[in-house]
Amino acid sequence: MYLWIHLIFAILLIALISLSIFKKKGFMPYMMITRVTYLVFIVTGTILFFKAYDRNPVFAILKVLAAVMFIAMLEINFAEKTKNRLTKGMVISLYCALILLFIIGFITAGGRPFV
């Protein structure tokens, strides 16, 4: 159940990030909602971490580090967006980090829930 909640909020996060980064005006509410979704990720991620740590501790720790890196990159992108200094390279690196986070997450989860 926690894995599904984690995945549903991941899809929501992708939509919110896209709205907040690519919208020219009125992007602040999306940024705030994105920050609230971090709370769900922290709670479900903590529960999933302890389950995954028993199976594969290296990937579980790598997933936590990748998630913290992604959140840091996202906050940097938000800060640059509010200052109107967001570059295309920063957005591309953010989405590459998100893809990397998904890959590590699926490896950590053993392919669940899709296998």
The C-alpha R_g of the chain, in whole angstroms, comes to 15
Per the document, the length of the chain is 115
- Tell me the per-residue pLDDT of 27-81, one tens digit each, with 9 for 90 and over: 899 999 999 998 898 999 999 999 999 989 999 999 999 999 999 999 999 999 9
Give the C-alpha separation, 36 to 24, whole Å.
Answer: 21
- Tell me the per-residue pLDDT of 18-38, one tens digit each, with 9 for 90 and over: 998 888 888 899 999 999 998
Give the C-alpha separation, 44 to 72, whole Å.
Answer: 19
pTM of the shown model: 0.90
